[in-house]
């Protein structure tokens, strides 16, 4: 399991390591500096100069320690000490003392703006503030960050760029714009979100000796699974088996001129391993679906005359299913509303509700309550419609969701008793538990029409094979993102489309299994 601690959780891990485990702070600092020096040496040649800018806290202590190690290795190193804090940490003062005894003198802050330093250095290292920052960067530190950002050289941040909130990824006043961030022990939660995700540049996580016991003692509230854990979760395929052993998925999707959505969801369920798929859709989609996905069974309806015969047909399809995927491309007309109402009244199996099913439920929220084993997969706008308060403008609700992704997902999961998969650059899975799953697979090329339809089919296919809906949601977004990454490698983020994600599910599973 990969944990993503907040700033306070990381401080608690550090404290536990020092006070309970007994690893001295100076040992951790030396290890941190040594791991950073490895990365710096990949950038600098013997003739290149490096500038390290520090303040008087522990982050600055890391910076001074790094500068001393590089200085002793023969590199051209200058250190600027801003001296903008009233207090100095004991670790910083000790590192400063050691550095000075090794012949390294710290320059004053004025060096940054009184000298021609902007074009002197190959690399500037930010050691001003770390994960403990809880106020806007101002005064001399702000001035220093501005100068550092203007330097025409490579930029490296220690642990997290100065000015970024380690919990939310927000900029506090101003922020250092790093090309590389060397962070210690664990990637911090805020680094997963914009703008921090961009401002951190390439994030390199270095092990400096935090024991797993310290991590478990603190138990950070945000996590993601590893490849190995996903493999252990995947349904077992027995040698002596048949299609009935791997579940039956019903896909209620598509409408006139919108048959691609049900195709994507249905094929994704098959590609993920389910045994049987039945598509329930408009009669006008029959011919193209029989051509493009002949493996699926079809039950169709006449949307212009959706009366008792069609309703009984729908109820029969619902009864046949082990899991139902509903909503992609369904539309929101009277016929679609009727289908979703009957589904919510009749079905007693797990469901994955996406797209138009959620738009319909946003106007009929009481239909969601009292159900079990429902996974909802909204993007931020669909979630805004589903959660906005009476009288609230959709634009205001959307802004609230974007600013409160985790809180919104957890609130929706709690209020409706569902597993909420809130899709964005970092998809969040909330399932009424203390911890929050944050997916780290995937890429911007997946921001294409049809990608969400594929995800709903993947999750449905995993549930059909016996995976609990909560775990299927987490494994599904992980696998979906892995397939998306393979599609990007092949097609590029500009050119890849939902079909490519679908076609790379087998390769993603192959690499995992």
Dihedral angle, C-alpha 255, 260, 262, 263, nearest 10 °:
140
Q: Is the Cβ–Cβ distance between 438 and 4 less than 8 Å?
A: yes
Residues 6+ positions from 472 with CB-CB distance below 8 Å: 375, 459, 462, 463
Considering only the C-alpha atoms of the chain, give the largest distance between any 2 of them, rounded to a whole number of Å: 90
CB 496 within 8 A of CB 488: yes
* Residue 202, C-beta contacts closer than 8 angstroms, at least 6 positions apart: 179, 180, 181
Q: What is the predicted pLDDT for the residue at 205?
A: 98
Q: Are strands 428-430 and 419-422 parallel, antiparallel or unpaired?
A: antiparallel
pLDDT of residue 356: 97
Q: Which residues of the chain have pLDDT under 70?
A: none
Question: Which class would CATH give 245-512?
Answer: alpha beta
As a 3-state breakdown, the chain gives helix, strand, coil percent values, each rounded to 5, of: 50, 15, 35
Classify domain 2-223 at the CATH class level: alpha beta
Structure-block tokens of residue 278:
């039945």
Nearest to 102 by CA among 65, 154, 47, 146: 65
This prediction has a pTM of 0.93
Report the pLDDT value the prediction gives residue 432, as an integer from 0 to 100: 82
- Alpha-carbon distance of 395 to 384, in angstroms, equals 8
- What is the structure's pLDDT at 306? 84
Strand order through the sheet with 202-206: 106-108, 76-81, 49-54, 123-127, 154-158, 180-184, 202-206
Give CATH 3.40.50.10260 domain extents, the chain.
2-223
From the number of C-beta atoms within 10 Å of its C-beta (0-12, 13-18, 19+), residue 398 rates as middle
The tally of CA atoms less than 13 A away on the side-chain side of residue 341 is 10
For residues 260 and 245, give the distance between their C-alpha atoms in angstroms, rounded to a whole number. 28
Q: Where in the chain is the domain with CATH 3.40.1190.20?
A: 245-512
Beta strand spans in 35-190 (E): 49-54, 76-81, 106-108, 123-127, 154-158, 180-184
321-344 tens-digit pLDDT: 999 999 999 999 999 999 999 999
Strands (DSSP E) found in 237-322? 248-252, 276-282, 297-301
Integer Cα distance of 371 and 350 in angstroms: 9
């Amino acid at each position: 399991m990969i944990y993503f601690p907040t700033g306070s959780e990381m401080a608690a891990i550090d404290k536990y390591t020092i006070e309970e485990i007994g690893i001295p702070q100076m040992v951790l600092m030396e290890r941190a500096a040594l791991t950073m020096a490895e990365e710096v040496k990949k950038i600098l040649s013997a003739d290149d100069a490096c500038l390290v800018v520090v303040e008087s806290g522990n982050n600055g202590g890391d910076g001074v320690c790094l500068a001393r190690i590089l200085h002793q290795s023969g590199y051209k190193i200058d250190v600027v000490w801003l001296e903008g804090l009233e207090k100095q940490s004991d670790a910083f003062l000790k590192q400063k003392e050691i550095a000075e005894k090794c012949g390294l003198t710290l320059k004053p802050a004025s060096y940054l703006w009184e000298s021609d330093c902007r074009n002197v250095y190959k690399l500037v290292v930010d050691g001003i503030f770390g994960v403990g920052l809880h106020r806007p960067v101002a005064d001399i530190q702000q001035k220093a960050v501005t100068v550092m950002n203007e330097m025409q050289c490579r930029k490296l941040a220690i642990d997290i760029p100065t000015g970024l909130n380690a919990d939310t990824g927000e900029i506090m006043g101003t922020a250092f714009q790093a090309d590389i961030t060397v962070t210690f022990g664990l990637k911090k939660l805020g680094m997963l979100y914009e703008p921090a995700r961009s401002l951190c540049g390439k994030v390199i996580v270095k092990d400096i000796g935090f024991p797993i016991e310290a991590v478990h003692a603190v138990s950070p509230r945000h996590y993601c699974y590893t490849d190995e854990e996903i493999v252990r979760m995947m349904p077992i395929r027995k040698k002596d088996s048949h299609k009935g052993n791997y579940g039956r998925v019903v896909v209620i999707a598509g409408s006139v001129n919108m048959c691609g959505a049900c195709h994507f969801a249905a094929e994704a369920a098959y590609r993920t391993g389910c045994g049987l798929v039945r598509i329930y859709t408009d009669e006008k989609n029959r011919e193209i679906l029989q051509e493009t996905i002949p493996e699926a069974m079809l039950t169709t309806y006449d949307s212009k005359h959706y009366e008792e015969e069609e309703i009984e047909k729908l109820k029969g399809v619902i009864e046949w299913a082990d899991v139902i995927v509903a909503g992609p491309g369904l539309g929101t007309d009277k016929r679609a509303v009727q289908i979703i109402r009957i589904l919510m009244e009749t079905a007693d199996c797990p469901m994955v509700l996406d797209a138009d099913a959620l738009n319909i439920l946003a106007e009929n929220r009481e239909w969601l309550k009292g159900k079990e084993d429902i996974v909802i997969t909204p993007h931020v706008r669909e979630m805004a419609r589903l959660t906005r308060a009476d009288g609230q403008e959709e634009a205001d609700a959307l802004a609230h969701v974007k600013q409160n992704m985790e809180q919104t997902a957890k609130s929706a999961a709690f209020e409706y008793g569902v597993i909420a998969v809130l899709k964005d650059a970092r998809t969040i899975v909330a399932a009424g538990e203390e911890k929050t799953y944050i997916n780290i697979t995937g890429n911007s090329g997946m921001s294409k029409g049809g990608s969400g339809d594929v995800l709903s089919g993947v999750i449905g296919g995993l549930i059909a094979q016996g995976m609990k809906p909560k775990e299927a949601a987490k494994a599904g977004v992980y696998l979906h993102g892995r397939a998306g990454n393979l599609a990007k490698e092949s097609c590029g983020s500009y050119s890849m489309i939902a079909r490519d994600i679908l076609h790379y599910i087998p390769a993603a599973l192959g690499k995992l299994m």
